[in-house]
Structure 1
Amino acid sequence: MRAFLIFLLFSNLLNGASGQSVKKHRLYIQGFKAYQAAVKKDKKKELVEIKSAIPSVKLDIRYATNHNFMHQVMYQQARAFARKEVVEQLKKIQQELYKKGYGLLIFDGYRPYAITVAFYQKASDKNFVANPAKGSIHNRGCAVDLTLISLKTGKEVAMPTPYDSFSAAAAANYAKVSPAALKNRTLLISTMQKYGFTVMPNEWWHFDYKGWESYELMDIPFGLL
């Protein structure tokens, strides 16, 4: 029953102005069959489960819990996906970080479009959420939210802010941070950049992969992947 109500909610959201705008986008895939057809033509467009491809990464999928800025469960499964090429680069990043005593902790990857609509309608600060009229790079499977963990402790390392903070200190170049947070943020950003990712200016944890423009926006639930 709960899943059905969530489906109705997202269906109504998609029928709104923002949903109608993105459906006119030339790079938009709504159905699973359309996604399968796209992958058949181009294997790079496959959405790969990150944990399956890189077993050593840790997951903390906040949107599968109440511990997020929406204060409600948004994902019915605690899973993270990204396009095949994105995951291949994350694997290289994990290998390099391991040599330095660190690993990746994934908060989010591919995000169905309906979730982006819900985020935008509820967010108090629209600068921290994608406008559904254009969609999110998360919807394209080319964005990841992540941080570092220490292999020694198994815990997150110090960063300027918690994940999904709507504060000025979340900016990737915010200067007034502790030496430890600065060191860790610099390591994360420099390593990600080395493998083709760009950090979002106002979110130190959000990274977009190069060439994201050529991938479609999608609205496929995790359960079908």
Structure 2
Amino acid sequence: MTDLFAPILPQPDPDWAEAFRVPIVECGQPLQALGIATGFAVWPAYHRLGVPNALPECHARSEIFERLLHAASLLPDGIRLVILDAWRPFAVQQHLYDTLYDILRQHEPDADPAELTRRTREFVAPPSTRAESPSPHLTGGAIDLTLCDRDGRWLEMGSLFDEATPRSYTRHYEEIAQPDEAQRLARDNRRMLFNAMSAAGFSNLSSEWWHYDYGDQLWAAHLGKPHAIYGPAHVLPLEQLWRQQLEGLRR
């Protein structure tokens, strides 16, 4: 039985160079739209926030869908998962990375560029479309999510989604020796999310309480898997789908 309120144990920060060296053996699972799911809620955050090229739907690999349903089934009655982002177009990844880097540079104009890059990568993965090292969200295996109650009220998680401060580290509230009531609430809500997602096979990005992976290189590196099973994926426009279907008839 999953203990949803077990403490979140220390986890290493990702070594992106090491993760991107993990081989990919693509399994071919299709992307699936999540918006019509009844087992969890979907709120496409970047589209709602007006980020250029963000889609009005969240897509993920088909096994991700099933594992999200499993994680949702472990939560207490009345608590629901809220999917904020999943498959992400490269243009959105580039926009997020460049925007955060520029804001950090403006905030600290004398900072070393290498340090700005390191801090940017804490909260936004390096943009990449390379077949051997795609950005996690480009694979359809990375999920950003939070929790809400049965009426749709978002639970207190101790920081905003995509907040670029130390409070966003998953274990931030675990490290407070004597948390106050609000800090205990955020800690326990993070524990619920972390333990449910871990029990469903996901790994967590240590600097982002909302980010979980399954099947991509970050997941494989974190859990010591011999290879990832998801490479770059694409939500195809209707025209390309028709072409693929007609090509299939010729074979």
**TM-score, length-normalised on structure 2?**
0.64
Residue from 157, 160, 168 that aligns with 2:158? 160
User: Partner residue of 1:50?
Assistant: 34
| C-alpha distance in structure 2 between counterparts of 1:195 and 1:93, whole Å | 5
Are 1:112 and 2:106 matched, yes or no? Answer: no
SS in 2 for 1:51: coil
User: Partner residue of 1:148?
Assistant: 147
Residue from 209, 223, 238 that aligns with 1:204? 209
Calculate percent identity across the aligned residue pairs: 26
Residues 34-183 of structure 1 mapped to structure 2, 5 A cutoff: 45-52=29-36, 54-65=37-48, 67=49, 72-75=51-54, 77-97=55-75, 99-124=76-101, 125-127=119-121, 128-133=123-128, 134-151=133-150, 153-175=151-173, 176=176, 178-183=183-188
For structure 1, list consecutive stretches of 5 or more residues without a partner in the other structure. Answer: 1-21, 28-37
* Displacement after TM superposition at 1:223 (Å): 4.8
SS in 1 for 2:154: coil
**More off after superposition, 195-204 vs 177-186:** 177-186
* Displacement after TM superposition at 1:116 (Å): 1.6
In the alignment of these two chains, the number of paired residues is: 180
CA contact (8 A) 2:146 2:193 kept: yes
SS in 2 for 1:131: coil
For structure 2, list consecutive stretches of 5 or more residues without a partner in the other structure. Answer: 1-19, 102-118, 218-227, 242-251
| C-alpha distance in structure 1 between counterparts of 2:236 and 2:159, whole Å | 28
**TM-score, length-normalised on structure 1?**
0.70
> Which structure is higher in RCO with an 8 Å CA cutoff and minimum separation 6?
2
Aligned-residue CA RMSD in angstroms? 2.7
Supply the AA of the counterpart residue of 1:87. F
Deviation string 1:130-152 (CA, Å, 9 cap, x unpaired) is: 1124432111110100011111x
